[in-house]
Chain A
Amino acid sequence: MFRFLLDRDTWQEVYDSLSKNQLRTIITMIGVWWGVLLLIGLLGSARGMENSFNRLFGDFATNSVFIWGQSTSKPFKGFQEGRRVRLSLSDAKKVEENIQGIDFVVPRNQNQSTVMRNFLSGSFNVAGDYPLLDDVQKKKLLFGRFINQNDIEKSKKVAVISEDIFKQLFEKKEEPIGAFIQINGMNFTVIGVFEESNIQMGPGSDIHIPFTTFQQIYNQGDKIGWIMVTGKPEYNIKQIELDTKLLLRNLNNIHPKDARAFGSFNLGENFDKFTGFLTGMQFLTWFVGIATLIAGVFAIGNILLITVKERTKEIGVRRALGATPFEIKRQIVAEAVFLTLIAGIFGIITGGWILILLDHFYGQGDDATLVNASVSITIVFVALLILVALGTLIGLIPAFKATSVKPIEALREE
């Protein structure tokens, strides 16, 4: 069998009989070609979407939930309903210590402030942050550095500003690092400039200053605006959210069933929904692609069946000349495999072109919809292998049909 595959005559025979009727051969191949094209194009696009999605969220700890205090909706332990609830640093610490599966708890404070530099000013969102924020929500720094522990301990008056503010408050080509800006009338040294990410998670912030400095200048004491709770990847963020809220109600003398006391936004859950959508799309892609492929292979089988009928006489002659039924079957299966394989390879090549085109039109720049739309070479090879297998199987039908007619009847056919 192996020698048969390597034999030049085998492929000469296949080539002869296929090139005899080129139009029919081409039409036969269209189904499989289209199936492979679709599979490659769709898989590549799905991958591109996933890549662009990952690029957007790549800097973000997505297994997170944001929690902030609102006001109570139930009276409890002598407190009236409608009491304002504010989280405190000790709450954050307790959450970190007591809730299972927690990676980080990042307390944050935010305030709208007037920021001035020389004669330029604007109203910006100022956030008090710990260095930990950089782990949860990676900042891309264009210049300088992010807040560090030293800044926190010494309550330094330093600020990390967004690129946007830098553009608004500074002249072009001015050196931002070491320059002073005024926040709430106090001088802060700029230590870093960060690039805003394409996607904002939670309230945006334009300027980050050390958490401790924020406490002092806005007189916040122990209170904090909100916390970001990030779970370890293997833990369910929904459960962490429930646990955390229950603990926080306990700590703040709030009725355990008071649903309104704490607001939250569960990023992890929303993220899961979207990745679920992506997975679904990939599944759909496979489904559509493979279904089309199978349909294409069936079309090949179908047309070969017609071909075999047309070639009844030729097959009869070959058998009269001493071709065994096995040799006839082998020949037809080889034709089927050859057709599927060539059609498949064309599909892969044109599918590649489609992906190049997609990349050219939708894959350029930072806000590209499809990033690196591509299909792994393994998938391509697996697809080819499947095609060969399917081609063999489908080729068996016309092959058996071809030898089911007796040579004498085949010869009589006109």
Chain B
Amino acid sequence: MLVIKELHKSYPIGDSSLHVLKGINLSVEEGEMVAIMGSSGSGKSTLLNIIGMLDEADSGDYILDGLPIKNLTEKKAAVYRNKFLGFIFQSFNLINYKNALENVALPLYYQGMKRKERQEKAMFYLEKVGLKNWSHHLPKELSGGQNQRVAIARALAANPKLLLADEPTGAMDSNTSYEIITFIQQLNDEGKTILMVTHEEDIANMCKRIVRLRDGIIMEDKIINQVRIEQHV
């Protein structure tokens, strides 16, 4: 599904440069649910951005579903993102003047899907996240948990191979966090591959595998026993 070999990335800071990723090797199989952990500055977000094709590595290989991701033009990167990836952000990143339905339909718009089809599909995913009755509400009229569910529906809409979540529960109280993570677990149960950056231990424990980063290298990579919410509550 996803293979990363000897990935390096550094950012120039003034005259010197900051070496953020110092040779990452990682492979993720289809159906996995991986938590990437690490303190701030460990390079976990950079890694996720590179996987999300929002950023490019300096050296090393990144192969997504057999497709080498290298030297992409902006246009190609956009098409790949649209086709292969679904993003879930900490701050939701919904477009504030569009209602829930329109937000979910946006990736489909960029796929060139017809309006009617798009809206039907968006409605299907909204229903899936339990927000069918909120489809015409603006983000500001929804709670944080609801907004994140809209964002998840949006990430799902284009039926991506890989879901990338950047601290999806970072801005929520624990109840809402568990609600969202349960949701993500369900998606994983249905076969979606999920990659999640988090710094919360309990959230990470709800994944199936934890990859710990420190100072740009992988410290630990272990398969764990997934904690299900049902046991938790």
Q: Which residues of A contact B (CB under 8 A)?
A: 8-9, 13, 16-17, 19-20, 313-314, 316-327, 403, 406-408, 411
- Tell me the smallest distance from the CB of A9 to a CB of chain B, in Å: 6
Please tell me if the beta carbons of A20 and B106 are within 8 angstroms of each other in the complex: no
Check if B161 is an interface residue, CB within 8 A of chain A: no
Known contacts A322-B79, A325-B75, A403-B74; A314/B107 CB under 8 A: no
Please tell me if the beta carbons of A322 and B83 are within 8 angstroms of each other in the complex: yes
Residue in B55, B78, B89, B115 whose Cβ sees the most chain A Cβ within 10 Å = B78
Please tell me if the beta carbons of A322 and B93 are within 8 angstroms of each other in the complex: no
Please tell me if the beta carbons of B110 and A323 are within 8 angstroms of each other in the complex: yes
- With a cutoff of 8 Å between Cβ atoms, the chain B residues found around residue A16 in the complex are 97-98, 102
Please tell me if the beta carbons of A320 and B74 are within 8 angstroms of each other in the complex: no
Please tell me if the beta carbons of A319 and B78 are within 8 angstroms of each other in the complex: yes
CA distance A20 to B49 in the complex (A): 30
CA distance A319 to B77 in the complex (A): 9
**For the complex of A and B, 4 pairs with smallest distance between CB atoms:** A322-B82, A20-B97, A408-B54, A324-B78
Give the residue name and chain of the A residue nearest to B49 (CB).
A408
Please tell me if the beta carbons of A318 and B74 are within 8 angstroms of each other in the complex: no
Please tell me if the beta carbons of A325 and B97 are within 8 angstroms of each other in the complex: no
**Interface readout for B81-115 with A: 1 if CB under 8 Å, 0 if not?**
11100010100011101100010001101110001
The secondary-structure label for the interface of chain A is helix
Please tell me if the beta carbons of A323 and B49 are within 8 angstroms of each other in the complex: no
**Interface readout for B105-128 with A: 1 if CB under 8 Å, 0 if not?**
011011100010000000000000
> Can you list 18 pairs linking A and B with CB atoms under 8 Å apart?
A8-B115, A16-B102, A317-B94, A318-B95, A318-B106, A320-B81, A321-B107, A321-B110, A322-B110, A324-B110, A325-B74, A327-B110, A406-B54, A408-B54, A408-B55, A411-B54, A411-B89, A411-B93
- With a cutoff of 8 Å between Cβ atoms, the chain B residues found around residue A313 in the complex are 93
CA distance A411 to B89 in the complex (A): 10
Check if B36 is an interface residue, CB within 8 A of chain A: no
Q: Which residues of B contact A (CB under 8 A)?
A: 49, 52, 54-55, 74-75, 78-79, 81-83, 87, 89, 93-95, 97-98, 102, 106-107, 109-111, 115, 154, 158
Known contacts A321-B154, A322-B110; can you find 13 more A-B pairs with CB under 8 A?
A319-B81, A320-B52, A320-B87, A321-B82, A321-B87, A322-B78, A322-B158, A324-B78, A324-B110, A327-B78, A327-B110, A406-B54, A411-B89
The secondary-structure label for the interface of chain B is helix
CA distance A149 to B67 in the complex (A): 102
- With a cutoff of 8 Å between Cβ atoms, the chain B residues found around residue A322 in the complex are 78-79, 81-83, 107, 110-111, 158
Give the residue name and chain of the B residue nearest to A17 (CB).
B97
Known contacts A321-B82, A322-B78, A326-B75; A407/B54 CB under 8 A: yes
- Tell me the smallest distance from the CB of A311 to a CB of chain B, in Å: 9
Please tell me if the beta carbons of A324 and B83 are within 8 angstroms of each other in the complex: no
- With a cutoff of 8 Å between Cβ atoms, the chain B residues found around residue A317 in the complex are 93-95
CA distance A322 to B107 in the complex (A): 6
- With a cutoff of 8 Å between Cβ atoms, the chain A residues found around residue B94 in the complex are 317
Please tell me if the beta carbons of B54 and A320 are within 8 angstroms of each other in the complex: yes
Give the residue name and chain of the B residue nearest to A18 (CB).
B97
- With a cutoff of 8 Å between Cβ atoms, the chain A residues found around residue B87 in the complex are 320-321
CA distance A9 to B118 in the complex (A): 11
- Tell me the smallest distance from the CB of A294 to a CB of chain B, in Å: 31
CA distance A411 to B154 in the complex (A): 16
- Tell me the smallest distance from the CB of A318 to a CB of chain B, in Å: 7
CA distance A233 to B106 in the complex (A): 68
Contact of A324 among B52, B54, B79, B158 (CB under 8 A): B79
CA distance A8 to B114 in the complex (A): 10
- With a cutoff of 8 Å between Cβ atoms, the chain B residues found around residue A327 in the complex are 78, 110
CA distance A406 to B54 in the complex (A): 8
- With a cutoff of 8 Å between Cβ atoms, the chain B residues found around residue A314 in the complex are 95
- With a cutoff of 8 Å between Cβ atoms, the chain A residues found around residue B93 in the complex are 313, 316-317, 320, 411
CA distance A406 to B89 in the complex (A): 17
CA distance A8 to B115 in the complex (A): 9
Contact of B75 among A17, A19, A318, A324 (CB under 8 A): A324
CA distance A318 to B52 in the complex (A): 14
- With a cutoff of 8 Å between Cβ atoms, the chain A residues found around residue B54 in the complex are 320, 406-408, 411
Contact of B106 among A321, A324, A326, A411 (CB under 8 A): A321
Give the residue name and chain of the A residue nearest to B111 (CB).
A322
CA distance A320 to B158 in the complex (A): 12
CA distance A408 to B81 in the complex (A): 13
- With a cutoff of 8 Å between Cβ atoms, the chain B residues found around residue A318 in the complex are 95, 106, 110
CA distance A386 to B146 in the complex (A): 47
- With a cutoff of 8 Å between Cβ atoms, the chain A residues found around residue B89 in the complex are 411
CA distance A325 to B76 in the complex (A): 10
Give the residue name and chain of the B residue nearest to A7 (CB).
B115
- With a cutoff of 8 Å between Cβ atoms, the chain A residues found around residue B78 in the complex are 319, 322-325, 327
CA distance A8 to B118 in the complex (A): 13
- With a cutoff of 8 Å between Cβ atoms, the chain A residues found around residue B75 in the complex are 324-326
CA distance A317 to B74 in the complex (A): 14
- Tell me the smallest distance from the CB of B58 to a CB of chain A, in Å: 14
- With a cutoff of 8 Å between Cβ atoms, the chain B residues found around residue A8 in the complex are 115
- Tell me the smallest distance from the CB of B18 to a CB of chain A, in Å: 15
Give the residue name and chain of the A residue nearest to B151 (CB).
A317
- Tell me the smallest distance from the CB of A332 to a CB of chain B, in Å: 15
- With a cutoff of 8 Å between Cβ atoms, the chain B residues found around residue A411 in the complex are 54, 89, 93
